[in-house]
Amino acid sequence: MNDWATTQRVCGEVVFTSGESLQGDVHLQFRRGAPGSTESPLEMLNRAEAFFALTLESGDVRLVAKTQVTAVALGDLRIDPSPAVVEHKALFVHMADGRDYAGDVEIDLPPPATRSIDFLNQPEAFFALVSADGLWCLNRRHICHVRPQD
């Protein structure tokens, strides 16, 4: 018996630098001291650990290297609304694997660092982009170029 049942599962698609992808459940940890509350997918991807667990529909578990992931699609999962002080920017992102993503990001940085380039230069590997298809977590380390849409 494995211990994957002790996590919160979120259905997603993991896209790799090779261009291949896997669909399954991403595992999110429960927050200590906050019963019923789990980390967000973005928090999980930006944790220091080099791997995360993905359970395929067959029940097989894959331990995925974050450095080899270009994007994680989380379908219709939405991020919590942010305070009104957050800047919303529309971006067109071209990744190293040739895929393109278009959508909005939330920039929550102190002024005057509210430009798209300030957002892209943040140290966290992954950021959230909300598109017409849902929520994507994109890996900054695999971006070729970004075209701001505003």
Does residue 64 sit in the same domain as residue 9? Answer: yes
> Sheet of 8-16: strands edge to edge?
61-65, 51-56, 21-28, 8-16, 69-73, 134-139, 126-131, 100-107, 87-95, 143-148
The domain that holds 128 is classified in CATH as 2.30.30.100
Do 136 and 98 belong together in one domain?
yes
The Cα–Cα gap between 65 and 49 comes to 9
Taking only the tens of pLDDT, the chain with its 150 residues reads 455 557 889 999 999 999 999 999 999 988 776 666 889 899 999 999 999 999 999 999 999 999 999 999 997 666 555 555 578 899 999 999 999 999 999 888 777 777 899 999 999 999 999 998 889 999 999 999 999 987
> Which of 100-113 are b and which e, b meaning 16 or more Cβ less than 10 Å from the residue's Cβ?
ebebebbbeeeeee
**Residue numbers of the domain that contains 65:** 4-70
